[in-house]
Amino acid sequence: MPRMKVKIHHEGTVILILLFLMLGAVNLLAWLFIGLRVIPIIFSAISAIFYLLVVNFFRSPHRDFDGPVTPDLVVSSVDGTVVALEETYEAEILHRRVIQLSVFMSVFNVHANWFPVNGIVEMVSHQDGRFMSAYLPKASVENERSAVLIKTHDGHQVLVRQIAGAVARRIVTYAEPGEICSIHQHMGFIKFGSRVDIYLPLDTEIFVKIGDKTTGGITPVARLKKP
């Protein structure tokens, strides 16, 4: 079994502190000034559930892939459900036909993003856009998004695109051009519901299908062709 240690992601620290103070103040006022006790009890229960859901969203597990990490290995960048797996033409960066593998994250999934391959970051870019549902196919080219182009040690180019969703309003990308990246590292974070696309060479062997559940940094999703 893979080893996982869970903590709160630093992207959520300020949000959780402010939310705790705000909910605490509102609940204190409710207990002080509402005479009917059942109302502050219900309000406190709802506040506690809501706060725990936000804490759950910002959980940040440290994961170690359980197995040999070979140069041709591709793992899922995120927790979620495979919603697209098809051959397509990537027109923004690669300008060639590739296999697109898309994983959708609900608000209940971990929203940290892992590098899908070991290699070197060649380019990082950001595009402003819309905030339609990340589940829709056209979200890949119309929503706000960030892209990370990685060159593996065997010379393959793998493109990873973080896509904002209907609720998500902030994409955080930690990758920097020229840095050495690993599947054990966080590539970024997307706040509140979103999607990540991985673009792979056409001769890549795919291990998953639409509807499969993935775990970021853990689930093998493909194997690149050896040179």
- pLDDT reported for residue 36: 83
Query: Which is the catalytic residue, given 77, 102, 146, 194?
Result: 194
The answer to whether the CB of 207 falls within 8 A of the CB of 196 is no
Q: What is the pLDDT of residue 3?
A: 46
CB 92 within 8 A of CB 147: yes
Give the per-residue pLDDT at 63: 79
pLDDT of residue 183: 94
**Burial grade of 125 (CB within 10 A; 0-12, 13-18, 19 or more):** middle
Alpha-carbon dihedral sign for residues 52, 55, 57, 62: negative
pLDDT of residue 126: 86
Rg (CA), the chain: 20
Strands 186-190, 112-114: pairing is: antiparallel
Q: How far apart are CA 192 and CA 46, in angstroms?
A: 19
Q: Compute the C-alpha angle 150/152/158, nearest 5°.
A: 45
Q: CB of 100 within 8 A of CB of 161?
A: no
- pLDDT tens per residue across span 112-141: 899 999 999 999 998 775 555 555 555 555
76, 224, 206, 77: which is closest to 153 by C-alpha?
Answer: 224
Q: What stretches in the chain show pLDDT beneath 50? A: 1-4
What 3-state DSSP class applies to 193? Answer: coil
Concatenated DSSP letters of 116-172: SSSEEEEEEEEE--B---TTSTTHHHHB-EEEEEEEETTS-EEEEEEEE-SS---EE
Tokens (6 digits) for 175 = 């990758």
| 194 belongs to the catalytic site | yes
Question: What's the one-letter identity of residue 201?
Answer: P
Residue 180 CA to residue 34 CA, distance in Å, equals 58
- The model's pTM is 0.78
